[in-house]
Amino acid sequence: MAKCDLTIELDQPDRLYQPGDRVCGTVIVQANDDINCKGLRVSSGWATHGRGNIDSGEVSGEIVFQGKWQTGNEYRYAFDLPAGDWPPTYHGVYLSIDRYIKAVADLPWAFDASVSRPFRLSCLAVPSGGANKVVPQSGMIGKMIGVIFVVVFGLVMLLNPFLWLIGFVVAIGASVWWFATRYLPRKRLGSVQYKLQRQQWMPGEKLRATLTVHPRKDIAINGIIWTVTGQETCVSGSGSNRRTHRHEFFSDGQVDHNLTRLLGNRETVIDLSLRLPRTEAFTMDLGDNNIQWTTQVRIDIPRWPDWKDKQDFDVIPSPEPVDGGSTTQPSPAAIPNDDAGTEVGEGPAVTFASTIEMIDSLQGDRHQIDRVVEAVRDLPMQLAIIPERRELASATNPLAYPTGHVVVGHTVEPRMPVVMYIPRSLADEFEQATDRQWEGAGSIVGYEHHAGRLQLRIEEYRV
Amino acid sequence: MTPLHHRQANHPISAGATRLQPLHWLPLAALNLLRNPFGELTRADRVRAAVVDLAPFREILDTEMTAIQFLADCGRGKTTHLLAIANQFPESAYVYLPEDGRHPKIPDGDPLLIDEAQRLPWLVRRRTFRRGVRLVLGTHVDLRGPLRRAGYRVWTYHVGQNLSGRQLAEMLNRRIEIARLDRGPIPTISIEEADALIEQHSNDIRAIEDTLFDRFRQQAGQFHGEMRFND
């Protein structure tokens, strides 16, 4: 048995803290032995966890006790610490970031006892100075070593005539690459400029960019492909054990195949825009763990190397809170959405189509999707679905009818995968409706995040 | 391979005076876990998670001019052994030699623990072995020859060989325990499930942990408490 057991009780464990707030609570020590504690330290900080090496930081800490604890007694120490400001709580696929209150008891001649308790922090803005990057010291040292290495390598190259040959081969390779990917497309297209309207964007905003092309003569193109991606990148291990894990949590874009000719001696301006998801995946660089947003544009030129460009942008917190800090279920009307007419909960407008549209606009934002689903759960609706096939594996799901079937399919517009729990009485009807639209009564009963599909329960009778 | 599963109470814990706080917003709260247990760990947590019988190593290291080398491929647990031993000796020093970049200075410590010792440059190795302190090495290459020439008595352990389902289950369950959120049941891995993982990945602990990371990740946000560790 450990010499003592530590527990942390937060006064508001489910509160969504904001920068500037203070986290209050109590550290409880249950002494299992007579102990002379050299210091009970309580701190507030953050740590990443997931696929990447752990990055962490401390906001503030204090020693709340030094002295003796006696066997069998319980001791309570109150704390009041700042919540911190950056990074906010984030739960992704390969990367998660949690804020913690941590208590460590320094015990002589024994392992230190420690405990931590997470709390939620939301950010309404990037920290002052715009630094959404937490650069660890080791990273700066690494960069300095890299610069020194390049300088020394360059000098050695210059001083050794034999190495000039290697340099020559590298230079030829680089020239061929530049000629094929930069010079040739530019030769055909003339001046091309790809520009994002600004560097920082907020979740739910419409990301806007312009592509300006000014060819010298008419040129045929196959189209313009613009992609926007959000990616978690986590590095684990080091040296030969170093591995980089990437997860693309958002990928969308715009493909324009209508523009097939760019006119010569004329400036063609192409506006590109895309609504960003309502996400908490803000741009972050925490050392071995980061979240990066990138846009890439490609002009597809027939029988010629394509012109490509890439530009990163920052997704920053919106000043509008994602969650008001309440632990109760939100009303549907409280769910923020700046697309007029798609709010669930405004009078009689709660339709299956509007709900699907809203969930679709929240792509990638697990928390918000759960809130919408929770708000409309079990609400009778008129559904329009295209069934695809019967699924056997999910038949044991508690949401399914005991003797019913499970059918997968998708909604019509926007297209969204669904899994339907249907009563036995409708089995034949669904079998016949495969790949054709089926309409009937049912309700939304959940959302499977791992499969990215909506769970629907179909009613016994048709409306 | 038989699909086995299940969430069970791992040990009964008497209810204490403190109340439990559910923290439902954590992705694995339904499994009573703070985080995915099979993500990367801090060095302190790696030591806590280590399942290493330290008694024989302590006995060997009681004698002067002794060296222990842990030989294995990547991901078999060499570093875990070194960190667990380092934690037992207050005067010890641990150093990891990276593949790229400048090697750190070999610190003073007794015992001296060197991870990736096969990367020691010849001259540094010679100087280090001449110090005469007790050595614990993690290496891919057998360094018996140079150690013996420096006057050491050498013990070699092949890490991960003969990994049993029981050992693996203990290692994995300790990692899950470290991620515990509150009192009460947490998922556990049975010996049969561990056997199945060994059959699938041999003794590659890192590959097993990767597989389990994905299994737990798929449970994020789910509100039922049953887990399946093998397909």
User: How high does pLDDT run on average in chain B?
Assistant: 82
pLDDT of residue B222: 60
CB contact under 8 A, B24 and A50: no
ipTM score above 0.90: no
Question: Using one digit for the tens of pLDDT, what is the confidence trace for A27-74?
Answer: 999 998 898 999 999 999 999 999 999 999 999 999 999 999 999 999
CB contact under 8 A, A91 and B220: yes
CB contact under 8 A, B39 and A98: no
Question: Using one digit for the tens of pLDDT, what is the confidence trace for A291-308?
Answer: 999 999 999 888 888 899
Q: How confident is the model at residue A132 (pLDDT cuts 50, 70, 90)?
A: low
Indicate the residue of B21, B36, B102 with minimum beta-carbon distance to A49.
B36
DSSP conformational letter for A182: I
Indicate the residue of B17, B39, B221 with minimum beta-carbon distance to A49.
B39
Higher pLDDT, A381 or B143: B143
Judging by DSSP bridges, how do beta strands A95-106 and A113-121 pair with one another? antiparallel
Q: Work out the minimum CA distance from B229 to partner chain A, whole angstroms.
A: 16
Q: How confident is the model at residue A331 (pLDDT cuts 50, 70, 90)?
A: very low
Indicate the residue of A50, A53, A118 with minimum beta-carbon distance to B36.
A50
Q: Are A436 and A401 in contact (CB under 8 A)?
A: no
Report the b/e string of B128-161 with b at 16+ CB within 10 A: bbeeebbbbbbbeeebeebbeebebebbeeebbe
Q: Which residues pair with A408 in a beta bridge?
A: A389, A419
pLDDT of residue B221: 65
Question: Using one digit for the tens of pLDDT, what is the confidence trace for A350-384?
Answer: 788 888 888 888 877 777 888 888 888 888 888 88
Chain A interface includes B101 (CB < 8 A): yes
The residue to which tokens 């530049």 are assigned: A178
pLDDT of residue B22: 67
Q: How confident is the model at residue A128 (pLDDT cuts 50, 70, 90)?
A: low
Q: Work out the minimum CA distance from A399 to partner chain B, whole angstroms.
A: 11
- Rounded to two decimals, the pTM is 0.67
User: How high does pLDDT run on average in chain A?
Assistant: 82
Q: Are A399 and A446 in contact (CB under 8 A)?
A: yes
The mean per-residue pLDDT over the stretch A208-213 comes to 92
Q: How confident is the model at residue A332 (pLDDT cuts 50, 70, 90)?
A: very low
Mutation to test the A interface, candidates B18, B45, B95, most A Cβ within 10 Å: B18
> Which residues in chain B are contacts of A53 at CB distance < 8 A?
40
Dist CA A26 CA B158 (whole Å): 47
Q: How many CB pairs (< 8 A) connect A and B? A: 77
Question: Using one digit for the tens of pLDDT, what is the confidence trace for A1-29?
Answer: 678 889 999 999 888 899 999 999 999 99
Mutation to test the B interface, candidates A91, A97, A369, most B Cβ within 10 Å: A91
Q: Are A73 and A226 in contact (CB under 8 A)?
A: no
CB contact under 8 A, A96 and B36: yes
Q: Work out the minimum CA distance from B95 to partner chain A, whole angstroms.
A: 13
Question: Using one digit for the tens of pLDDT, what is the confidence trace for A409-430?
Answer: 888 878 889 988 888 888 877 7
Question: Using one digit for the tens of pLDDT, what is the confidence trace for A222-274?
Answer: 889 999 999 999 998 876 678 899 999 998 888 877 778 888 888 889 999 99
